[in-house]
């Protein structure tokens, strides 16, 4: 091992959903490690303000990961600013109450538009940026793609049918793209994913905490009881794995999904 083994200093990273809770933390950690970061997010102002916080070698770009011409325009801005793309983090994703079963809404009543929204955001929102930025990596013959899957992909959680199926699609696509890029373009292009355990963020707060008292719901309590480390993740908990998967330290690692979950996926419940 050399001092460069885990180095991503000087690399260019594109992070979609970069202004969100988990990915903003990855953006901050990457910038601190010497990476020039392009923060792409549907929320233009949030992307720009995070980029301003990261310093003059970061840019914030408004980009909808479901709109290919938007992604192509963003990729041109990234190339104009930095000249290449070494790391793509496909972070945009999420769930919504309308696609979640509850006492008031059975599985049979979940509206097709809400289900489709969740599928599109998580799965198509990973595939489309991988096409655009993956093609840049194919011409460079190098790069790393990091997708964000979920615990739901291993075993589905109750209530969130579309989100579970969509994240399982993200894990499957991670393996598919890893093989495709290595065989068709370059063995130096690697594709992996992180499967975060439970992090209390805006997309799941309505499920895990009571909206008035802020106390844990029974579901939130069950999650903590099934997380051997006994807590929710902190956004910074993903950073070490993200740096490992983006750096030469993982040079022979492609097509895997790494749980960062406080032991949730290892615990049988007994």
Ligand X SMILES: NC(=O)c1ccc[n+]([C@@H]2O[C@H](COP(=O)([O-])OP(=O)(O)OC[C@H]3O[C@@H](n4cnc5c(N)ncnc54)[C@H](O)[C@@H]3O)[C@@H](O)[C@H]2O)c1
Verify whether residue 163 is a known catalytic residue.
Answer: yes
Which residue number is nearest to ligand X in terms of Cβ?
20
Burial track 192-215 (b if 16+ CB lie within 10 A, e otherwise):
bbbbbbbbbbebbeebbbeeeeee
Q: On the CB side of 242, how many CA atoms lie within 13 Å of its CA?
A: 30
Residue 76 is inside which H or E element, if any? helix 68-82
- The residue from 17, 29, 143, 169 that contacts ligand X (CB under 6 A) is 17
Q: In this chain, which of 60, 91, 143, 169 binds ligand X, going by CB under 6 A? A: 91
Pick the binder of ligand X from 44, 66, 73, 224 (CB under 6 A). 66
Among 185, 199, 244, 264, binds ligand X (CB under 6 A): 199
Question: With binding defined as CB under 6 A, does residue 237 bind ligand X?
Answer: no
Asked if 41 interacts with ligand X (CB under 6 A), we say: yes
Comparison of 153 and 185: residue with beta carbon closer to ligand X: 153
64 binds ligand X (CB under 6 A): yes
The pair of structure tokens assigned to 133 is 């930025």
Task: Please give the Cα distance from 270 to 267 (Å, whole number).
Answer: 7
- Strands 143-148 and 59-62 come out as unpaired
Which one from 82, 117, 163, 173 is the annotated catalytic residue? 163
Dist CA 91 CA 15 (whole Å): 6
Positions touching ligand X (CB under 6 A) are: 16-17, 19-23, 41-43, 63-66, 91-94, 121, 125, 148, 150, 196, 198-199, 201-204
- Annotated catalytic residues are 163
């Amino acid at each position: 091992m050399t001092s460069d083994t885990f180095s991503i200093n000087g690399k260019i990273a594109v992070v979609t959903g970069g202004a969100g809770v988990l990915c903003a933390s990855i953006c901050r950690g990457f910038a601190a490690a010497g990476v020039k970061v392009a923060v792409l997010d549907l929320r233009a102002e949030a992307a720009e303000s995070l980029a301003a916080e990261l310093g003059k070698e970061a840019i914030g770009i408004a980009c909808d990961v479901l709109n290919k011409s938007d992604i192509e325009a963003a990729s041109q801005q990234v190339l104009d600013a930095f000249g290449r793309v070494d790391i793509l983090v496909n972070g945009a994703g999420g769930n919504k109450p309308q696609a979640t079963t509850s006492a008031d809404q059975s599985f049979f009543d979940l509206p097709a538009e809400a289900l489709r929204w969740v599928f599109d955001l998580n799965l198509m929102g990973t595939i489309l940026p991988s096409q655009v930025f993956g093609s840049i990596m194919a011409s460079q013959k190098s790069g790393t793609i990091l997708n964000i899957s979920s615990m739901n992909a291993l075993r589905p959680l109750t209530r969130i049918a579309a989100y579970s199926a969509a994240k399982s699609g993200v894990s499957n696509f991670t393996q598919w793209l890893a093989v495709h890029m290595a065989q068709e373009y370059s063995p130096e292009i690697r594709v992996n994913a992180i499967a975060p355990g439970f992090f209390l963020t805006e997309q799941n707060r309505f499920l895990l905490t009571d909206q008035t008292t802020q106390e844990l719901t029974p579901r939130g309590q069950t999650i903590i009881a099934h997380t051997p480390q006994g807590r929710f993740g902190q956004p910074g908990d993903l950073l070490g794995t993200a740096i490992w998967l983006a750096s030469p330290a993982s040079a022979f690692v492609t097509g895997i999904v790494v749980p960062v979950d406080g032991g949730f996926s290892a615990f049988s419940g007994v």
